[in-house]
Amino acid sequence: MMKTRTEAIRAAARTLLEEGRVDAVIGYVQGTIPLRAQPFVAYTPEECDRFIWSSFCGGNLASIASGRTDRVAVVAQGCVSRNLNGLVHENRIQRENLYIIGVPCIGMLDQRKVEAKLFGRNIEFLKRDPEEDLGEIVVGGCNAMGECYEEVIKRRDVKRDNCYTCMHRNPVGADTVVVEPVSETAGGDINAVATPWMRFDADRRWEEFAKNFEDCIRCYACRDVCPLCYCTTCFVDESNPQWCGKTQDSADVQTFHILRAFHCAGRCTDCGACESACPQGIKMRRLTSMLEKDVRTLWGHEPGMDSTTKPPLSTYRPDDPEDHFK
């Protein structure tokens, strides 16, 4: 029988550590509450038995690998493997120190969407988490009075937004791929949904933009979870000149989000970690997906498809489009 992803990851990780080919393996372990997974660094073969793969591995392990100098193996689905390729190019990781354990991915689920379907009921367990795209998960729980329930939810109803339009679900440039590849794309058309505000006029676009980011609490989870954000001092922390104030004024919050997104332009793999991390449920991808669409249209670039191509904003062509220049 074919191994499940969890079994295959454990076996691959264990072998790597046993054979001494890496010093550590970065993967996920079961979270302390249902619908969560926790990044974990295993240093011994025994610790590898804690690894899991679930529908809720919505972070980005490339950010944990980034900047490490020991030899690490990273459990990576399509988007994360592309981030790793990018980080190799940017010299954040040496390729010879990196081993990519590739996992073909069927898309992660948005725990908020699952919770919303069960509003007011506690989720105490995830009973079934199938490895088929069109499968159904089963969640359930009990209340204080001892009344219990179980609910069947279709995966396709509660996927994360970015996972509907994923372009590369299979790992890119992985050293090993632990299970059979899945269909390369998730089926959704990213270009069709990347710029939802484009149909409005400027005033309305501004309104939508302001509304989209009004709940931001400046916790910077979107920045900190992102493998592309590794500056020693982020521009929001610079004080002279102070590019971005520290307050909750809309100008400060908006400046942060514009620059954060722009700094990721041409490098973002649409992994969705920023939206998964946000405690306020803000849709940062409204900006990043627009930028990536432009990057594809203007310069035909797809980030992270190998570790040698320069990101589009670090290079040029003499005949680049220049519609905005007079």
The alpha carbon torsion through 209, 215, 217, 222 (nearest 10 deg) reads -60
User: How far apart, in whole angstroms, are the C-alpha atoms of residue 152 and residue 135?
Assistant: 10
Find, among 77, 1, 91, 73, the residue nearest to 37 by Cα.
Answer: 77
Q: Of the two residues 3 and 200, which places its CB atom closer to other proteins in the complex?
A: 200
Which of the ranges 87-95, 148-156, 172-180, 205-213 carries the binding residues for other proteins, by CB under 8 A? 205-213
Residues 50-89 that bind other proteins (CB under 8 A): 59, 63-64
User: Minimum distance between the CB of residue 267 and other proteins, rounded to whole angstroms?
Assistant: 12
User: How far apart, in whole angstroms, are the C-alpha atoms of residue 256 and residue 244?
Assistant: 7
DSSP string, 171-213: -SS-SEE-S----SS-S--HHHHS-TTTTS-HHHHHHHHHHHH
Does the protein bind other proteins through residue 4 (CB under 8 A)? no
Strand 125-128 versus strand 98-102 pairing type: unpaired
Size of the site for other proteins (CB under 8 A): 98
Does the protein bind other proteins through residue 318 (CB under 8 A)? yes
User: Minimum distance between the CB of residue 278 and other proteins, rounded to whole angstroms?
Assistant: 8
Q: Judge whether 306 and 236 are in contact, CB under 8 Å.
A: no
Residues 296-315 that bind other proteins (CB under 8 A): 298-299, 312-315
Find, among 18, 10, 134, the residue nearest to 75 by Cα.
Answer: 10
Does the protein bind other proteins through residue 208 (CB under 8 A)? yes
User: How far apart, in whole angstroms, are the C-alpha atoms of residue 53 and residue 107?
Assistant: 12
Residues 216-275 that bind other proteins (CB under 8 A): 217-221, 223-225, 235, 237, 241, 243, 245-252, 254-255, 258-259, 261-262, 265-266, 273
Q: Of the two residues 64 and 88, which places its CB atom closer to other proteins in the complex?
A: 64
Which of the ranges 7-15, 80-88, 178-186, 204-212 carries the binding residues for other proteins, by CB under 8 A? 204-212
Expressed in angstroms, the distance from the first to the final Cα of the chain is: 64
Residues 114-153 that bind other proteins (CB under 8 A): 115-116, 119-120, 122-124, 141, 143-146
Helices 250-264 and 285-299 cross at an angle (nearest 10°) of 40
User: Minimum distance between the CB of residue 104 and other proteins, rounded to whole angstroms?
Assistant: 23
User: Minimum distance between the CB of residue 326 and other proteins, rounded to whole angstroms?
Assistant: 4
Which of the ranges 4-12, 14-22, 88-96, 190-198 carries the binding residues for other proteins, by CB under 8 A? 190-198
Q: Which one of residues 90, 136, 161, 294 is an interface residue with other proteins (CB under 8 A)?
A: 294
Tokens for 314? Answer: 């670090």
Does the protein bind other proteins through residue 38 (CB under 8 A)? yes
Strand 72-76 versus strand 24-30 pairing type: parallel
User: Minimum distance between the CB of residue 181 and other proteins, rounded to whole angstroms?
Assistant: 28
Q: Of the two residues 42 and 177, which places its CB atom closer to other proteins in the complex?
A: 42
Find, among 99, 157, 138, 129, the residue nearest to 37 by Cα.
Answer: 129
Q: Judge whether 292 and 270 are in contact, CB under 8 Å.
A: yes
Does the protein bind other proteins through residue 19 (CB under 8 A)? no
User: Minimum distance between the CB of residue 168 and other proteins, rounded to whole angstroms?
Assistant: 22
Which of the ranges 79-87, 94-102, 180-188, 283-291 carries the binding residues for other proteins, by CB under 8 A? 283-291
